[in-house]
Structure 1
Amino acid sequence: MNRTLAGQLAADVEAIEFYLSRRVDLRASGLESVLGDLPTPSLTVVGYGDGVRPGQVSTVVDELARTALRSGRSVELTSGREWTGVARASAMVGRRVATRLPSDREVDASKMLGEMASAGGSLVVRGLDDLPASGVPHPARVVDLWLVDDVAGVEEATGVDQALTLDVSPMGLRRLSRQKMCAVVATVDWRLTQRWRWEREADAVVEVGVDEDGRAVLGDGHDPVRLPPGL
């Protein structure tokens, strides 16, 4: 198996083309049982607190992005944790592969992303290196799924002028879901915000916690989904 990032990206594109050619509906497996089918419009909040590493929470966003892409949907990913290249690669091939990017940050992810878009879904990523300039939602772009990873990080990167940037407040993200008629999923650190504000505006709130073995799990029902270790 090719372990290089370029090889992983190429394999991912080939897999997407294979599944699309056979009209196979790929779903988010265990995540779907906890998050549901993410109706449009809707705002789903994935919250976490002590004992959970941020990278573990980001794996939820990565998996949702990959699943939506493979289903031919248009995805917008706004990350408050990573520079754009890492966020893009994570959404395509997973966080573990993305962390092995070359130190000079030069990788042919853009070419692979173009091939993926022609095969089915489309992906636009806003990372820490372009959030202030590119935070404004493009009015002409149709988005099925809008993912916001680390609300506090996005807010810090975009600044306080919400008239010029993406409004990641609870009311702002709810409004975004209605204006764009899309499903919005946001990860929120409960220690940095007022939880009741999110519970009031969200259509659904899902918890990331830690099980008896110290593993991060999504959902607090009878069948929580274990998450990969992350970063």
Structure 2
Amino acid sequence: MNTSLFGFSTGLQQQQQQQQQQQQQQQQNAAADSSSSSSSSSSSNTGLTPAQQQNLQMEQQLQQLAAANPQQGQEILARWQRAAHRNPNRLAGVVTPVVGLQGLAARISGAAERTETIVAAAAATARDTEALVDKYKQMRAAEDFQWADWQQRIDGLRVWLASLQQQQPESSSSSSSREEEQPVAAPALLRLLTIQSETVQQLLQSLANTEALTARLQASALAARPRAR
């Protein structure tokens, strides 16, 4: 009986040793496979970006962890693979957000340039509108100008100035005849005649200026009427 129990326990120990040897052999094979894959991948990483190389190194480390610790390593590797599956370009995981930000910056700069163009166009439109408003005001002022009233005033000034010019010789002759009778009043009469002649000259100059201004206003009004139509 004791011999049979001893033989049974010996068989169990041998089976456990065989299982441990098989597990060790599997771990060694997995490590060899991962090392061979890492060596082959390192030789093919020459044309990759730093972000792609970093992602490959991370995946290789996870594979080694899965080979050394099958329970936790396989779970972590599965999570990595699921996350990589959601990203269509998993090897460019770090580069993809940078490219997105660059595109967003380009769109923002383009929108800013378009906004500046719109602002410049709006400013030009405002200037043109102000010029048109000023021109319209000038046209309205020219149309509302009382040409007939001013013409009557100018004609009245001409008649009055003509009468003043006719009165100057008479007043000068009468003053010369009175100088003998009233020698004391001669300087006062001379000043009066001088002031009167200066007033006549100023009125003549004002009349000439008024006629020139009236002619310019009339010409501008005639030139602006066809454009208004």
Query: Which has the larger share of helix?
Result: 2
TM-score range relative to shorter protein: under 0.3
Q: Which has the larger radius of gyration?
A: 2
Structure 1 length-normalised TM: 0.18
Query: Which has the larger share of strand?
Result: 1
Larger RCO (CA within 8 A; separation ≥ 6) = 1
